[in-house]
Structure 1
């Protein structure tokens, strides 16, 4: 009997000792440990901190945004840290566009997400009525006024100035509608389904 026991102990000596995994460590990676309810609001903003982003409201654009404020669950636990990235797209909506989020990256892991923003209203493209654009429109209008005056028998200051004013007005009126996300601008996403992490 002693010989059998000794042989068993010698045979087990080649098996490495496995310490039990602490319960705390197991809980950190337990899926389904965190849940945000449908209707939770997540503030987000553009990743571009220096220049505006422009979107034509009749077109779909892929877009990545950043969470601007940490989100906590009903028990006060941090679920979505500020700076987390949400992937989705800008989609046409009446009066502008809407951002629809489809996934979120937290701590290097990607989770499915169903969230959308309210309508981000379109506006006349500010690039078309910036100072440079107005000067260009006025110059084109003034040249047209001068040409028209020459064709009708005489170039006058009135023709040139009238053409310049008309050029500015036409440039402003014909500017396309765009949705603009400006640096530092924030908008809210609302969860359309619970988010389990």
Structure 2
């Protein structure tokens, strides 16, 4: 009887050891790497910092600058192609560089609500082009051009749109800026009549590109 009890006791101990060992086995299996890269759906509302590392969220403001001129003049209804550059390194909270200083932002100045704003279309980061949904605030500052104004003073330090050049030439009568290179053939062909019947004054939109055109993201920017 004693021998039986001893054997039963030994068997119980062995089974307990076996069960304990079996229960411990799953704890030794390493977590798959993909689980760290792609959190389960239940966690996506509160993703880990590493999951959001390459996303710049909607509403972020990105400073830009334009080194070609101190101001930009466009006509009230003018659309003008424009390329700006990012004016500062953009980093995430961990200090990781997302958008380096000098990256190009390609877009257009477009007329809207009595003014003009820059609408971004692409961003070029390390020679890679990427869609960008962002725009600047609306600039309504105007500069009056009057007959007799000195064109050299108006254009000092300025980049000027083709339509704005036509307006300035029409009011001032200064044909110096009415060239094929500045205006293009289509506008140049109609300029003669404008100069002959020119008005006393006209207005153009005056933009300070280094303070007026900082862009705000309208949707998340997912970097690749």
TM-score for both structures, normalised by structure 2: 0.49
What pairs with 1:1-197 in structure 2 (closer than 5 Å)?
34-49=54-69, 52-125=71-144, 131=150, 171=200, 174-181=201-208, 184-185=210-211, 187-197=213-223
2: CA distance, partners of 1:78 / 1:43:
15
Deviation at 1:187, TM superposition (A): 3.1
Relative to structure 1, is the Cα distance of residues 73 and 125 closer, same or farther in structure 2, using a 3 angstrom cutoff?
farther
CA RMSD of aligned residues (A): 2.9
| Structure-1 separation of matches of 2:86 and 2:124 | 10
Unaligned 5+ residue runs, structure 2? Answer: 1-51, 154-171, 173-198
SS in 2 for 1:59: coil
Larger gyration radius, structure 1 or structure 2 = 2
CA distance in structure 1 between the partners assigned to 2:66 and 2:152 by the alignment: 25
- Going from structure 1 to structure 2, the CA distance change for 1:76 and 1:175 (only over 3 Å counts) comes to same
Distance 1:61 1:128, change over 3 A: farther
User: Number of residue pairs matched?
Assistant: 128
TM-score by length of 1: 0.55
C-alpha distance after superposition, 1:144-179 (max 9, x if no partner): xxxxxxxxxxxxxxxxxxxxxxxxxx85xx132223
Mark the runs of 5 or more structure 1 residues left unpaired by the alignment.
1-31, 135-139, 141-169
